[in-house]
Chains A and B, each alone.
Chain A
Amino acid sequence: MKNEQEDSARRKFLKFGLLAGGATLAGLGLQNKLLGEAPPDSGKKVKVLTAEGKLVEVDSSLVTHHAADMNLSEDQLREGIAGRKFVMVIDLARCANERKCVEGCQKMHNTLPPIEYLKVKRMQDSELGAPYWFPQMCYHCDNPPCTKVCPVDATFKRSDGIVAVDSDRCIGCKFCMAACPYSARSFNFGRPQQVEYNQKHPADCKETCCSTKSSTVGTVSKCDFCPGHAAKGELPSCVTECPNGTIFFGDENEDSVTNGEETFRLKELLRSRAGYRQFEELGTKPRVYYLPPVKRQFPFEEAKEEHNKEE
């Protein structure tokens, strides 16, 4: 009992210290670099967000040494990462429907088409309005209709803003899917190709500490904001995969979002670019903001083909 308490206290300490530690280490790494004292170089670089909202690239050996030590209990997974409030901003002016985010997401979560946690939809708000591409995933709402209706607390809101799914708890009633006005959730009906793929590529939850194991047949899954990446200070796959820097990820508490190349102050960005949330009137309070598709970087081009035709 005492051991357990100590253990959990140690874990808590680790968890609290991790991010601060990671940031400090990242800072140290930077300092070392500047001072010319090169640390043992693994050759692999990771991007780390500093407290000032700057994105720096450091050697992965400095960060992953601690992050790899994370072995979070179920309760800790349910709690979320302390002190964080994850947020996403999608700049619709930059999306050219290249679907790299979709592919990156599928790779990250071991899903095969047609299952997409992240979809890119062709939207046109009115007849005379211009069509635009609309990347859309789970909005991790602050007033989530899905978690309310879950009969067994299998989907829940974490302190860091993430709406997660416990696929070991889910009974597959699909009520959350009926409740979600954004159709953001996906059910694993056990599509044979998918099952086979998951047997070959089992989800390594220890590494990513992902809350959504897509491989559990008969349960609901969806975008989880890649919390394993976030815990390590890395960006979600859709953000890093986008060639145009459409998707920004960040922390509301830090008031900053980044797409890996550019970093903005969240409030300033939303204010200056008239950021909005989809279906604000539903009162779901999404954590994903959109910047309207004005002053586009690319002219709108219709998709050449419909995707995911294969059953």
Chain B
Amino acid sequence: MSKHIITKEATTYETFTQEEYMLMKEELLRPVQRIGKWGKIWIGFLLVVCMFGLYAYYIQETKSKYVTVSLRDYTMWGVYISNFVFFVALSLIGVLMSAVLKLTNFEWYRPLSRIAEVIAVAAILLAGVSIVAAMGRPDRLHYLLLHGRIQSPIVWDIIVIVTYIAISTVLLFIPLIPSLSTCKNHLHNKPKWQMKMYEWLSFGWEGTPEQWKILKRSIRILTIMVIPVGVSIHTVTAWLFATTLRAEWDSTNFGAYFVSGAFLLGVAGMIVAVFVIRKAYKLEHYLTPMHFDKLGQALVLMSFIYIYFNINEYLVPAYKMSGLHANHLLDLFVGKDAPLYWGVIIFGMLLPAILPLFKALRKPLPLTIIACTVVVAAWLKRYLIVIPGLAHPYLPIQDVPDSWKHYSPSLVEMTIVAATFAAMLLIVTLFTRFFPIVSVWEVAEGRLEGKDEIINYK
């Protein structure tokens, strides 16, 4: 084990022998080779939650929505929409933790990029599911193709999200090709169809220098492409709100505010994912304390950026306290949403901005606890943007039943939201069980001085 010298500095590579490389491959393929008892229980648990979600959706679509969901004419967008915004934000993890780090030559990205990409793809797919759950007539989904009109921000969102799904999927897949070849050559006792799948998906990868050249080139182009598209998906998602005349959302700050929040969530999500994968699959040699140290620093930076945009979004209107904003802002600051609002500010922004400044709190466990609160706060933050934003229309709400005045999500809604989380985690978990979650060749490449050695390995 002492042979595995963990690089403290990202830029210094260790050379190692073929023997060491084989050992590394064994370790990275281990989660794919064998699924333990707890691994199976975890997958089973996620499947059960997904089933509950499907059942809840069945109830929602077959019974009266007036009974099954809490949405009413004034709060017509509820947790499905805030959950959608959360997942779109989470999917920006691929932009920040893979593409930006890669292009800016932060060598510590290497074991992280595939984790980030698979979370990005899973999250954006579940964002789509959340939107369908929110639709009144999901049976008319295809009307978007038949009758779609370009002046609607929803159509912009669909265009950029589909583009992002396509680019992210390809960007996840292309660096996977050499790993598939590794799986094909080194996994044993696996069902025939699984080996066939590796064979088929690796597209005859032989690792020739020419293939490597094409591979690297494609990755570079896609990595550059994914950044503007990723920023677009969340900016356009912000515009779904900002293009309305509602005072609470009528903000030129919204695009940047959403994107900065997404980057903060991306770092926090990455910390949690790295911690879990590191522990569950015993990948401590690859996902090191150095990664937590760096991610902790990124968390501080992103928190401060997000705080900056929050000051612009809330304190500037609060200084003026115009009649358009007063009810909404007072509800958040001192009214019924105040505990939630200040909870999000403290746990979702202030603590992650300050605590990881101390090196001791950038150790894996404390940092992961901080990151967990950031993820929870990030979900609640989207709730606070969407739902209280609808509570104070220009004309007063009068002569309606009580349920029309106050929204709180129903059991069916929360079950479906829980199922979207389970489904996202299931996609990520299954991915790690079929493909090495840490890219063997990218890590090896980073650790080698000369890159020739990894080209023709068998």
Please list the residues of chain A having a beta carbon within 8 angstroms of any beta carbon in chain B. Answer: 114-116, 119-123, 136, 145, 148-154, 169-175, 177-179, 181-183, 185-192, 194-195, 217-220, 278-279, 282, 284, 306-311
The answer for the CA separation of A306 and B26 in the assembled complex, in Å, is 72
**Mask for B63-100, Cβ within 8 A of A = 1, else 0?**
01111010111101100000000000000000000000
**Counting CB contacts under 8 A, is B394 at the interface?**
yes
Partner of A190 from the list B64, B73, B74 (CB cut-off 8 Å) is B64
- Closest chain-A Cβ to B33's Cβ sits at a distance in Å of 46
| In contact, A119 and B399 (Cβ under 8 angstroms) | yes
Q: Can you sample 12 A-B contacts with CB below 8 Å?
A: A116-B399, A145-B244, A151-B154, A169-B143, A171-B137, A172-B136, A178-B241, A185-B73, A187-B71, A189-B69, A192-B66, A308-B399
* A306 surroundings in chain B (CB, below 8 A): 398-399
Given contacts A151-B154, A187-B76, contact A181 B246 (CB under 8 A): yes
Complex contacts, B243 vs chain A, CB 8 Å: 149, 179
The 8 Å CB contact of B74, one of A170, A183, A195, is A183
CA distance A192 to B393 in the complex (A): 27
| 9 closest A-B pairs by CB | A172-B136, A218-B136, A151-B154, A189-B66, A191-B66, A151-B152, A152-B147, A190-B64, A307-B399
Chain B: number of interface residues, binned into ranges: 35 or more
Question: Does the CB pair B136–A179 fall under 8 Å?
Answer: no
Q: Hey, what's the 0/1 contact readout for B122-158 against A, CB within 8 Å counting as 1? A: 0000000000001111001101101111011111001
- Bound CA–CA A175/B397 (angstroms): 19
Cβ contact within 8 Å between A172 and B240: no
Query: Which single member of B143, B151, B240, B397 contacts A171 (CB below 8 Å)?
Result: B143
List residues of chain B with CB within 8 A of the CB of A170.
136-137, 140
Is the C-beta of B233 less than 8 angstroms from some C-beta in chain A?
Answer: no
Task: State the main secondary structure of chain B at its contact with A.
Answer: loop
- Which residue on chain A has the smallest CB distance to residue B147? A152
Cβ contacts under 8 Å, A151 to chain B: 144, 148-149, 152, 154-155, 158
Per the 8 Å Cβ criterion, residues 370-416 of B in contact with A are 390, 393-404
Asked if B149 contacts A152 (CB within 8 A), the reply is yes
Across the interface, B135 reaches (CB within 8 A) one of A172, A183, A309, A310, namely: A172
B5 contacts partner chain A, Cβ-Cβ < 8 Å = no
- Chain B residues in 8 Å Cβ range of A284: 245
Which chain B residues lie closer than 8 Å to A219 at the CB level?
136-137
Q: Is the CB of A153 within 8 A of B149?
A: yes
Q: Are B144 and A152 in contact (CB under 8 A)?
A: yes
Chain A residues within an 8 Å CB radius of B135: 171-173
Q: Is there an interface contact between B395 and A121, defined as CB atoms closer than 8 Å? A: yes
The residue in chain B whose Cβ has the minimal distance to the Cβ of A309 is B401
- Complex: how many Å from CA A122 to CA B398? 8
Of A114, A122, A181, A187, which one neighbours B401 at CB under 8 angstroms? A114
